[in-house]
Amino acid sequence: MFRLFKFRSGAKKQDDLLGKAHRVMQSSIKVDFDFKSYAERHIFNRLSQNSEYGFYYYPYGYLFRYPKWGTINEMGFRMEENTYEIREKYPDHYVIAVFGGSTGFSILVPDDKTFSNQLELLLNEDNKLCERVGKQFKVVNLSHPGNMLLNQIISYIIFCEQIKPDMVISHNGANDLCTLQMNDRNLVENYNLGYCDVLEAWGRKIHDAYDVEIDYLYADPGSPDFKPAKPRNKPESVVKAYHTRVTQFASLVLNDGRK
């Protein structure tokens, strides 16, 4: 079996950060991808190159690296260009930034069939629309699998300063409404905070908190100790937290003068 990720030359393979959970992202298909050059693009790619898991740590949540599912740039977004190259390469285009989770990322389809690429194709084929706008369209995919609205907001703040999109599309709901049910009750009820469950596993590992039980330990359905996760939060708390972040993201975009 081929492994999806190659490890450092001469380095001993360490236990994956998430233990058995890395099996969720294992692949039996070898992909044509320059893992070594990708790792050298920045420190967090390099620090995580021994992980077979798609999700990996960086200071503002997580990034995602799984080239079996298609082209990714150095920050894990599903596009060839890096965000700092967009405006230089497409200076006269009407730029649309798409945020989302796995659906926005468009898992399990080739690059030309992703939501962003299909939207760009449809827009540019509409000659009347292009004439009315006076520009061609460029759709930028800033989605990552598992992204919740707070992840989208953080990515907007970081990357749209460079991209300066004319319009923002946020595909959201499923990840927030599902994951918020299982997030920490105090953080959800009192702070409207939701987070991808992998972050609990990272916190446990980083701080050697092996005496703290988390749902992720039992999330592998192929394991004999598998346990279905149980909701921790009331529906009204989940909806309130979700609505708070929807309106926050919309306000950010509108206050920046974007659609």
pLDDT bracket for residue 140 (50, 70, 90): very high
Q: What is the pLDDT of residue 52?
A: 67
Beta bridge partners of 99: 170
Evaluate whether residue 173 is within a structural domain: yes
Instruction: Look up residue 233 and give its two tokens.
Output: 């939060």
Q: What is the pLDDT of residue 1?
A: 28
Evaluate whether residue 189 is within a structural domain: no
Evaluate whether residue 172 is within a structural domain: yes
Average pLDDT taken over every residue of the chain: 86
Tell me the average pLDDT across 178-206: 93
Amino acid residing at 99: F
| Pair 213, 225: CB distance under 8 Å | no
Evaluate whether residue 64 is within a structural domain: yes
Q: What is the pLDDT of residue 14?
A: 40
On the question of pLDDT at 21 being above 50, the answer is no
Domain that holds residue 52: 19-177+237-255
Average the pLDDT over each of 45-54, 110-119, 155-164 and give the range with the smallest value.
45-54
CA-wise closest residue to 94 among 142, 139, 141, 137: 137
Tell me the average pLDDT across 64-82: 89
Tell me the average pLDDT across 45-57: 81
Evaluate whether residue 164 is within a structural domain: yes
Evaluate whether residue 139 is within a structural domain: yes
The structure's pTM equals 0.85
Evaluate whether residue 167 is within a structural domain: yes
Number of structural domains in the chain: 1
The CATH number given to whatever domain includes residue 49 is 3.40.50
Secondary structure, 3-state, the chain? CCCCCCCCCCCCCCCCCCHHHHHHHCCCCCCCCCHHHHHCCCHHHHHCCCCCCCEEEECCEEEECCHHHCCCCCCCCCCCCCHHHHHHHCCCCEEEEEECCHHHHCCCCCHHHCHHHHHHHHHHHCHHHHHHHCCCEEEEECCCCCCCHHHHHHHHHHHHHHHCCCEEEECCCHHHHHHCCCCCHHHHHHHCCCCCCHHHHHHHHHCCCCCCCCHHHHCCCCCCCCCCCCCCCCHHHHHHHHHHHHHHHHHHHHHCCCC
| Pair 185, 230: CB distance under 8 Å | no
Tell me the average pLDDT across 42-62: 84
pLDDT bracket for residue 64 (50, 70, 90): confident
pLDDT bracket for residue 157 (50, 70, 90): very high
Average the pLDDT over each of 4-18, 28-42, 129-143, 197-211 and give the range with the smallest value.
4-18
Q: How much of the chain, in percent, has pLDDT values that exceed 70?
A: 87
Beta bridge partners of 95: 138
Evaluate whether residue 184 is within a structural domain: no
Structure-model confidence comparison of residues 55 and 242, the more confident one: 242
pLDDT bracket for residue 194 (50, 70, 90): very high
